[in-house]
Amino acid sequence: MKKKGWKELPIGGVILEAANTKKYSTGDWRTFRPVIDLDKCTNCMRCWIFCPDSAVCLVDGKVNHFDYEHCKGCGICAQECPDNVKAITMIEEAKAKEGK
């Protein structure tokens, strides 16, 4: 997305479009990314409820993957995943990007 110059912006930092935070990629703030082991996941949905960025994605009503465009890597999902399940691990973003 090409960023606008100062003459093109509405004054006062106002945002004219509703729900446009989707366009703001907060995923690049992330230091650790959550990775889920779907074999361990029991679909208790706690991660989905607690995620502050609505970045836990469902397929057919079941936890499936994370939206890495918006996940800031806060780790709440991994923390809230029940102790007897622990299906989510946080791994270093740099390592994840190297494909490890």
Partner 1 sequence: MRQINPDVCAAYPITPSTQVMEQFSEYVADGLVDTELIATESEHSAMSACIGAAAAGGRVMTATSSQGLALMWEMLYIAAGMRFPITLACVNRALSAPINIHGDHSDSMGARDSGWIQIYAENAQEAYDNQIQAVRIAEHMDVRLPVMSCMDGFITSHAIDSLELLDDKTVRDFVGEYKAINPLLDVEHPVTYGALDLQDYFMEHKRAQAEAMKNSRKIVIDIAKEYKKISGRGYEYFEEYYMDDAEIAIVILSSAAGTVKTVVEAMRAKGEKVGLLRPRIFRPFPYNELSDALSNVKAVAVMDRADSTGAEGGPLYMEFKSALYNRKKQPLMINKIFGLGGRDLMLPDIEMVYRELRDIKNSGKIRALSEYITVRGEEAAYGKA
Is 59 among the residues that bind partner 1 (CB under 8 A)?
no
| Residue with smaller CB distance to partner 1, 7 or 100 | 7
Give the C-alpha separation, 18 to 73, whole Å: 25
Looking up tokens 């446009």 gives 20
CB of 98 to partner 1, least distance (A): 26
Give the C-alpha separation, 5 to 14, whole Å: 15
Q: Which of 2, 3, 23, 100 binds partner 1 (CB under 8 A)?
A: 3
Is 14 among the residues that bind partner 1 (CB under 8 A)?
yes
| Residue with smaller CB distance to partner 1, 22 or 40 | 22
Q: What is the DSSP letter of 79?
A: H
Is 28 among the residues that bind partner 1 (CB under 8 A)?
no
Stretch in the footprint of partner 1 (CB under 8 A) among 14-22, 51-59, 62-70, 92-100: 14-22
3-state secondary structure of 30: coil
Q: For residue 91, report the phi and psi dihedrals to the nearest 5 degrees.
A: -120, 150
